């Protein structure tokens, strides 16, 4: 009985350790950088047309938008105040939040502001999207759940250097004042969600400042890690659902069954940014049919290939190449870029670790003028003295380090995690 209880306790402890450890931080950072970069590029691209798309010059008037928003119970900050200047504030504030999120500055706050901006613009004109709007809405909401600033961010550099966090509490207080002025008291709707995010950040700041070594701080960190892991799982399931539904709907269509869907798409004026290229591709019927069937097979099969590492990586490269082709041939760059960012969730950790090692690698010693200048010159007629052998390590810490071997803390725990 005692042995069974001990085994159960050990397994429970192991499961808790697995659940409360932040998983796939490099994939989360890749999604953060890619999604914010793509949406910032979209806002910059549409900057000359922003008032026609989402502002006071839009054919979809403010009254029509508010009616649909009320029926769908959607969210947009543009409904808080009418007028041109409030729209300009929301538009440029969203662009600023996207850029700050991309470089990883205060990712908890900027991810929430990024979500508010994305929802505000997309729900203001819900009939302007090309499919990428749904991806942006979903992923922007999921970014709030995950720890997307653990690596490749200014937040990670600040934690690594041990700098004092002075601007964080000030930003939190300012955000609370703005929420109070705009939303008032929280309720069970979108206002309650924003207030809950604000309260969670405040609880984290209080624990870091007043109880840095307390058990409550460890519990909060574990809960945040579990929320991150759940968020990453939700993103993975969402991507699989996107591909599965797209593939199965294609199977039901007669054009895809015949293999002629891509041929007709290449002749639509809306999807012909390069008419000569479209005509050249449409001229070869056999390649077009093969591409149509391959698209359906890849989309339907991808969720089932996650159990096989090699097949998954192969299909991942094929799908990224397919989206790049869609961006060029059919003129859908932002939809394709958003899907490539979502695909990055399934990139091998070893690949991202290699990229991180290349980014953090300093100048190689042993070459260059600086190294040659650092070598002392030997006067003529004088023989160089032989180098002295290093003294053996005699301290207890050195003996333990020698027995333990090199530090492997920054590498994956096993081969499966690395791949």
- Report pLDDT digits (tens) over 155-170: 999 988 877 777 788 8
The Cβ-side half-sphere exposure at 289, using a 13 Å CA radius, reads 6
Give percent of the chain above pLDDT 90. 51
- Average pLDDT of the residues in 378-402: 46
Q: What average pLDDT score do residues 4-28 get? A: 83
pLDDT band at 351 (very low <50, low <70, confident <90, very high): very high
DSSP output for 180-199: HHHT-S--SSHHHHHHHHHH
Question: 285: buried, middle or exposed (CB in 10 Å: 19+, 13-18, 0-12)?
Answer: exposed
How confident is the model at residue 111, as a pLDDT? 94
89-97: list long-range contacts, CB under 8 Å, 24+ apart: 90/117, 90/120, 90/121, 91/43, 91/50, 91/54, 91/55, 91/121, 93/117, 94/39, 94/43, 94/118, 94/120, 94/121, 95/40, 95/43, 95/44
CB 333, CB 327: distance < 8 Å:
yes
Task: Give the start-to-end residue ranges of the domains of the chain.
Answer: 17-233, 247-346
Per-residue pLDDT, 327: 95
> Hey, how many other C-beta atoms are within 10 angstroms of the C-beta on 126?
17
- Taking the C-alpha atoms of residue 211 and residue 209, their distance in angstroms, rounded to an integer, is 6
pLDDT at residue 46 is higher than 70: yes
Rounded CA-CA distance 265/77 in Å is 36
Q: Count of alpha carbons within 13 Å of 120, Cβ hemisphere only?
A: 23
Can you tell me the distance from the alpha carbon of 85 to that of 56, in angstroms, rounded to the nearest whole number?
10
Instruction: Give the confidence band of 1 by pLDDT, cuts at 50, 70, 90.
Output: low
Token couple for 283: 């001229």
What distance separates the 2 farthest-apart alpha carbons in the chain? 93
Asked whether residue 105 carries a pLDDT value surpassing 80, the answer given is: yes
Radius of gyration (Cα) for the chain, nearest Å? 27
Residue 347 contacts by C-beta under 8 Å, 6 or more apart in sequence? Answer: 27, 30, 316
Confidence at residue 382, expressed as pLDDT on a 0 to 100 scale? 47
Higher pLDDT, 283 or 18: 283
Least reliable range by pLDDT among 194-203, 227-236, 308-317, 352-361: 194-203
What's the rounded mean pLDDT across residues 344-349? Answer: 95
- Confidence band (pLDDT; 50, 70, 90) for 370? very low
Q: Please give the torsion angle defined by the CA atoms of residues 395, 399, 402 and 408, in that order, rounded to the nearest 10 degrees.
A: -90
Element (H, E) at 71: helix 62-72
Coil vs helix vs strand at 231 = helix
Q: Identify whether the C-beta of residue 149 lies closer than 8 Å to the C-beta of residue 107.
A: yes
pTM of the complete model: 0.82
Taking a C-beta distance cutoff of 8 angstroms, is the pair 214, 207 a contact? yes
Q: How many CA atoms lie within 13 A of 372 on its CB side?
A: 3
The predicted model gives 348-355 an average pLDDT of: 94
Alpha carbon distance 377, 79 (integer Å): 74
**Given CA atoms 266, 269, 272, 278 in this order, what sign does their dihedral have?**
positive
- 10 Å Cβ neighbour count for 151? 19
| Highest mean pLDDT: which range of 266-270, 321-325, 372-376, 412-416 | 321-325
Q: Is the pLDDT of residue 295 over 90?
A: yes
CA angle 216, 222, 349 (to 5 degrees): 155
**Helices (runs of H) and strands (runs of E) counted in the chain:** 21, 0
Identify the pLDDT of residue 384. Answer: 47
Q: Which two tokens stand for residue 145?
A: 């759940």
Angle between helix axes 215-252 and 25-45 (nearest 10 degrees) is 60
Please calculate the CA angle 208-211-212 and round it to the nearest 5 degrees: 55
pLDDT band at 419; cut points 50, 70, 90: very low
Three-class DSSP category at 61: coil
Average pLDDT over residues 392-419: 42
Mean pLDDT, the chain, integer = 83
What is the mean pLDDT of the segment spanning 336-361? 93
């Amino acid at each position: 009985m005692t042995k069974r209880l001990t085994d159960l306790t050990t397994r429970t402890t192991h499961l808790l350790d697995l659940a409360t450890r932040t998983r796939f931080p490099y994939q989360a950072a890749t999604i953060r950088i890619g999604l914010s970069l793509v949406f910032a590029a979209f806002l910059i691209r549409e900057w000359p047309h922003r008032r026609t798309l989402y502002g006071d010059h839009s054919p979809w008037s403010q009254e029509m938008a508010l009616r649909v928003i009320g029926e769908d119970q959607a969210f947009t900050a543009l409904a808080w105040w009418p007028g041109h200047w409030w729209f300009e504030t929301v538009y440029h504030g969203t662009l600023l939040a996207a850029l700050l999120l991309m470089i990883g500055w205060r990712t908890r706050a900027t991810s929430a502001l990024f979500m508010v901006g994305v929802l505000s613009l997309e729900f203001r004109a819900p009939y302007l999207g090309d499919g990428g709007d749904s991806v942006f809405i979903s992923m922007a909401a999921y970014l709030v759940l995950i720890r997307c600033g653990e690596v490749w961010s200014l937040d990670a550099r600040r934690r690594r250097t041990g700098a004092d966090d002075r601007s964080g509490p000030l930003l939190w207080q300012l955000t609370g004042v703005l929420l109070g002025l705009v939303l008032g008291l929280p309720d069970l709707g979108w206002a309650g969600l924003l207030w809950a995010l604000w309260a969670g950040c405040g609880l984290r700041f209080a624990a870091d400042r007043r109880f840095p070594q307390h058990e409550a701080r460890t519990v909060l960190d574990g809960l945040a890690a579990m929320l991150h892991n759940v968020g990453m799982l939700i993103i993975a399931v969402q991507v699989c659902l996107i591909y599965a539904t797209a593939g199965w709907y294609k199977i039901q269509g007669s054009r895809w069954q015949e293999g002629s869907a891509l041929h007709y798409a290449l002749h639509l004026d809306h999807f012909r940014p390069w008419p000569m290229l479209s005509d050249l591709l449409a001229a070869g019927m056999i390649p077009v049919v093969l591409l149509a069937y391959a698209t359906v097979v890849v989309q339907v099969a991808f969720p089932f290939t996650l159990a096989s590492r090699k097949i998954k990586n192969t299909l991942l490269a094929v799908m990224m190449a397919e989206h790049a082709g869609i961006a060029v041939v059919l003129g859908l760059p932002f939809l394709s870029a958003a899907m490539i960012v979502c695909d990055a969730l399934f990139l091998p950790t070893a690949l991202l670790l290699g990229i991180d090692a290349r980014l953090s690698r300093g100048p190689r010693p042993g070459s260059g003028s600086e190294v040659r200048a650092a070598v002392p010159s030997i006067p003529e007629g004088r023989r160089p003295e032989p180098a002295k052998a290093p003294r053996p390590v005699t301290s207890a810490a050195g003996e333990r380090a020698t027995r333990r071997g090199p530090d492997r803390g920054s590498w994956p725990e096993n081969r499966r995690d690395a791949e």
